[in-house]
Structure formats: C-alpha cells, structure tokens
Amino acid sequence: MTTEAAPPPGSPGAPPATPAAEEFVRVQQSAEFAELRRAHRSFAFPLTVAFIAWYLLYVLLSNYAGGFMGTKLFGNINVALVLGLGQFATTFLIAWLYSRHAAAQLDPKASAIKARMEAGE
C-alpha cells in the first residue's frame, strides 16, 4: 500500500486554500467586492420595486375596480385573467433576465474574487 503526498497548496490538483476570517473582511472591504455588490443591487432593487408595484396594482385593481377587471376582452377572457397571467409571465421574465445578468455580470466577478481568495493572494 502506497500513499501519495498531497500537492503543495496553490499547485494544480491541490485543494483550495481556506482563507482566514481577516481575508474575508479584507475582500469585503475591497473595491472589487463593492463593484460586485453594486452590479447586483443596480439590477435586483429596481426590478424588485417594479414587480412589487405591478403586483400591488393588480391587487388594488382587483379590490377596487371590479367593473374594469371584469371587462370581457374576448369570449370568457376578462382583464383580470389577462393581468393575472401577466403576473406569471413577469415572474418568469424577471428570472430569465436575472439569470442572464448574473451569468454576464456577477458570476465572472465572483469567480475572480473566489479564485484569488483560494489562491491565497
């Protein structure tokens, strides 16, 4: 039975280094991490506010504008049904947009930070 020595930290095939708590604090205070947070917040916060406003509009119209919401558009399809289905469509659209944004903007920045931390830089 033979045992192989583990490769030295930082070399190919070696397990990633475990950063110390001080390293996490240093990275959290870095300009690069601030840019990552800004990229996330500049996308997530406006869309969250817009979706909540859209949802509340739907609820308020349902409660206080029954005549409008009951307006038939064609057949048995009324405004309430179309707007309700629009809620689902909006949810999926936002999820798709966020996925694209994360893949293009957030993931590369987060991966770069992670790789530097694991390399012990």
**DSSP assignment of 14-55, as one string?**
SPPP---HHHHHHHHTSHHHHHHHHHHHHHHHHHHHHHHHHH
Q: What is the pLDDT of residue 20?
A: 74
Q: What is the pLDDT of residue 16?
A: 63
Dig out the tokens for 19 from the structure.
């950063």
The ranges assigned to domains in the chain are 29-119
Asked if 23 and 117 count as a contact pair (C-beta separation under 8 A), the reply is yes
Instruction: Give whole-number Cα distances, 116 to 34, 39, 83, 99, in Å.
Output: 16, 19, 47, 24
Asked if 24 and 114 count as a contact pair (C-beta separation under 8 A), the reply is no
Query: pLDDT tens string for the chain (121 positions)?
Result: 555 565 655 566 666 667 678 888 888 888 999 999 999 999 999 999 999 999 999 999 999 999 999 999 999 999 999 999 999 999 999 999 999 999 999 999 999 988 888 877 6
